[in-house]
Amino acid sequence: MSVLAPAAGEVVELMLEVPQGQVLEYNLPALCSALDIADPTRIAVETDGLRRAIVTIYPSNPLAEVRAVTAEDLVMDRHGRIAVGVYHNGRTVKRRLYDPATGSAQRFLLFGTTGAGKSRTLQLELAAEKRNGIVSWVCDLKNGQSVPEARDNVDWFGTTPEEAILMLRAAVNVAQERMERYSRLGRTAFIRDAPDPLHHLRIEEANRLLEKGAPYREEATYLIRELGRTGRSVGEGIGLSAQASHLEELGGSDTLRAMLKEGEVTLLRWSSSMMRQLVSDGLLPATAQLMPIPKSLRNVELRSQFAIDADDDEEDAPGTQGMAYLLSGPHPTAMMRHFRIGSIAPTPGLDPEILALYGDDAPPTLEDASHDAAGEAYAARHDPVKMAMLCQAVYDEAQEEEDKRPAGKAGKSYSPAKPPRAAAPRIIDRVRAALANASAPMSAEDVLAAVLADGGKEVRPGSVRNALLELVNGDTDVVRADRGLYTIDR
């Protein structure tokens, strides 16, 4: 077919159909083979689920380069959507943050394997939340290392599973309180900012909270389901980002199936078992296929095993971070890529580009009327010492529950084989102790060395740095002495 030998740089579009009475099925590798295309990401197939398909063949992967996100992208349109990236055909991808037509808050799920771009995508959404007056509560279960720029740009930033539980409990209470308040007003639906703001709770690395053997799995699952159920009509959304190959890893498939069906579901680079699960859960029609997202855009080229070629460096191939499928969008099988968010290369501290995306304003906070319902934990969100005490109480409660369990049933919600999390001194306390023991201000490196030498568990430099930030920004006696130096204000 001459059409398949396009001039350089040309895009070819094939409209295909099978005879009436048949259902179009295709096999992606076979299609690539038939077209003699080695790089499968050059082909896009979209079907109507029945007889017809459009096959688009690009001269090279059309998503290799994507522009940076702008503040304008993040402003909600009249349908409550923001621009998050582009589809392979160049059209803008929109994700819904809110549904003004029904007044419904949204549920968000962001899946992807490690390095696929979950945390950056979350930052885009968090920046959008801030810019649209949405109150964000974020629990970053990677010790605050996943989305560090969010810390001062959201209303409540937590870093431990205990704090996630406190946040979830508070959010469920707020939903209850709003419901009662709205019902007294005779209101049947949520109206944004009249008077209450939208409120989103996000759990980053939710798998750490929900996977089998995680200490708070049962309660977290219950609370997430509860918030998903009651929050929608009172302006409270919930979002999870997770690295998971199975829904089972996330509190059991029942919890999430409903959320997945109605939520904004984004699938970044995933494992094939995850996709099988999505199909078996009915989230993707059995005939739909998603072109797997490769780790990098390197062509597989067969060469003699003995060819000497300096050009064989895998490291040079562009990555595919941020490429995804927006399953809840109008084109679930069309590959898209998120806009560039922040710098690709790691920055030594907080990423200035990401900070700029959030803007300088103070983040929106929960309405006064709900502060009582949000309770002690919300009031203590900027008080690390008080928060540590509340977290310890959550931990102790879980321990007590565990001790009450009849023998033989142990391990259902908490695995005693795991070292108790809160019993070991927390990094933040070790960091403060290191500063207290020193006679002069210390750099982050000095603090790290002192903490590594204190006989406690191994720590990573990032965790020490985060602890320092938390201490300096929190209401404690730790202060910055000079550029890059920390000390105790005695």
**Given the rule CB under 6 A, which residues bind ligand ATP?**
112, 114-120, 146, 243, 321-322, 338, 340-342, 344
Among the listed ranges 35-43, 100-108, 142-150, 163-171, the one in contact with Mg ion (CB under 5 A) is 142-150
Residue the block writes with tokens 């990236």 = 85
Which residue, 147 or 442, is less far from Mg ion as judged by CB? 147
Residue 464: contacted member of Mg ion, ligand ATP, none (CB under 5 to 8 Å, by partner type): none
Residue 131: contacted member of ligand ATP, Mg ion, none (CB under 5 to 8 Å, by partner type): none
Which residue, 133 or 462, is less far from Mg ion as judged by CB? 462
d(C-alpha 425, C-alpha 442), whole Å: 21
d(C-alpha 257, C-alpha 109), whole Å: 11
Residue the block writes with tokens 């499928």 = 325
Which residue, 69 or 175, is less far from Mg ion as judged by CB? 69
Residue the block writes with tokens 């203590």 = 380
Which residue, 63 or 206, is less far from Mg ion as judged by CB? 206
Among the listed ranges 117-125, 211-219, 404-412, 422-430, the one in contact with Mg ion (CB under 5 A) is 117-125
Report, in Å, the least distance between residue 315 CB and ligand ATP: 14
243 binds Mg ion (CB under 5 A): no
SS3 146: coil
Nearest to 260 by CA among 273, 250, 271: 250
Report, in Å, the least distance between residue 447 CB and Mg ion: 25
Could you count the other beta carbons within 10 Å of the beta carbon of residue 443? 15
Which residue, 353 or 383, is less far from ligand ATP as judged by CB? 353
Q: Are the CB atoms for 125 and 254 separated by under 8 Å?
A: no
Report, in Å, the least distance between residue 337 CB and ligand ATP: 8
Instruction: Give the interface size with Mg ion as a residue count (CB under 5 A).
Output: 3
The Cα-based distances of 265 to 12, 174, 259, 477 in angstroms read: 30, 25, 9, 43
Report, in Å, the least distance between residue 243 CB and ligand ATP: 5
Which residue, 145 or 399, is less far from ligand ATP as judged by CB? 145
d(C-alpha 56, C-alpha 156), whole Å: 45
> For residues 437, 458, 383 and 197, what is the CA-based torsion angle, rounded to 10 degrees?
150
Q: Which residue is nearest to Mg ion (CB)?
A: 119
Q: 457-482 burial, b if ≥16 CB within 10 A, otherwise e?
A: eebeeebbbbbbbbbeeeebebeebe
Report, in Å, the least distance between residue 159 CB and ligand ATP: 14
Which residue, 159 or 321, is less far from ligand ATP as judged by CB? 321
| 140, β-bridge pairs | 204
Helix intervals (H) in 152-286:
161-185, 207-210, 217-231, 253-262, 272-280
Report, in Å, the least distance between residue 361 CB and ligand ATP: 23
> Out of 47, 119, 121, 143, which residue is the one contacting Mg ion (CB under 5 A)?
119
Among the listed ranges 1-9, 65-73, 119-127, 274-282, the one in contact with Mg ion (CB under 5 A) is 119-127
Report, in Å, the least distance between residue 276 CB and ligand ATP: 21
The first and second tokens of residue 81, run together, are 């959507």
d(C-alpha 233, C-alpha 373), whole Å: 17
Residue 227: contacted member of Mg ion, ligand ATP, none (CB under 5 to 8 Å, by partner type): none
DSSP letter assigned to residue 241: E
Rg (CA), the chain: 25
Q: Are the CB atoms for 216 and 165 separated by under 8 Å?
A: yes
Stretch 60-89 residues interacting with Mg ion (CB under 5 A): none
Report, in Å, the least distance between residue 438 CB and ligand ATP: 33
Q: Are the CB atoms for 391 and 384 separated by under 8 Å?
A: no
Residue 341: contacted member of ligand ATP, Mg ion, none (CB under 5 to 8 Å, by partner type): ligand ATP
Which residue, 113 or 176, is less far from ligand ATP as judged by CB? 113
Which residue, 139 or 450, is less far from ligand ATP as judged by CB? 139
Which residue, 116 or 448, is less far from ligand ATP as judged by CB? 116
Which residue, 120 or 381, is less far from ligand ATP as judged by CB? 120
d(C-alpha 375, C-alpha 138), whole Å: 17
d(C-alpha 32, C-alpha 291), whole Å: 11
Helices 427-437 and 461-473 meet at what angle, rounded to 10? 80
d(C-alpha 427, C-alpha 468), whole Å: 10
Report, in Å, the least distance between residue 72 CB and ligand ATP: 17
Residue 117: contacted member of Mg ion, ligand ATP, none (CB under 5 to 8 Å, by partner type): ligand ATP
Among the listed ranges 110-118, 158-166, 291-299, 330-338, the one in contact with Mg ion (CB under 5 A) is 110-118
Nearest to 118 by CA among 270, 279, 331: 270
Report, in Å, the least distance between residue 146 CB and ligand ATP: 5
Report, in Å, the least distance between residue 229 CB and Mg ion: 28
Provide φ and ψ at 178, rounded to 5°: -60, -40
> Out of 146, 153, 159, 487, which residue is the one contacting Mg ion (CB under 5 A)?
146
Which residue ranges make up the site for Mg ion (CB under 5 A)? 118-119, 146
